[in-house]
Structure 1
Amino acid sequence: MPSEEFESAAASFKRIGQDAVTHARRVSGNAKARNQRHHSENVELLKRTGRGAKSGDPTPGTLRAAAERFRRARGLAVPETPETPVVPDSVPSRSQSPARAPRTSDDDEDFSQMRIMNRGQ
């Protein structure tokens, strides 16, 4: 009977859909738990080590040595750096760039637009 086959196919389709939804929920829950765990670990590391290095702080020797090994292994140039970094007495201030003069009018733009529009005539 076609009716029984249809009901069987519909039940099978429904079961497969439910299994897919269950699997997706499980995978999503695992991913959320893993992200939360990583976040907690990062927060804990930040508490132990502080907020991190400032941009003007010298690079630690271990990082410097790792960078040198990386560069040498790939045949890249290794810049010479002093053992004790030079720290400036004060941070130089940014120089003020001169302000642009305000435009007096847009007549130049209008003229150039007309020239472009009339070029093919």
Structure 2
Amino acid sequence: MRSEPESAAAAFTRVGQDAVTYARRVAGTALARTEHHREENRELLKAYGRHRSAGGGEVTPSALRGAAQRFRTACGLPVPVEDPARSGPVVPPARPQTSDDEEDFSQLRILNRPT
């Protein structure tokens, strides 16, 4: 049994319906993923609150803190320094990034260069 070729209007309608179905599925997946992340964050906040209220010590392990400091130093980012007078780390101001090819591209210098 052979079916007749689909008309252009019917093909357009079918493709549109397929696109809408796909978009709804993707949106549903994204919403589910977002809700999952929110639930994880709620649980982490609760655990952090319990840790603080119990008078827990350092939240970040020292090995992880050291790895973070090495990474920030390697990337030229400011490294927080612990200040015993304050309750938390102090972040120094960011250093300006320097590069070897800093050139003056101002209009006056380009127009007045010798030829």
Normalising by structure 1, what TM-score? 0.47
Structure showing greater Rg:
1
Between 1 and 2, higher relative CO (CA 8 Å, sep ≥ 6) is seen in 2
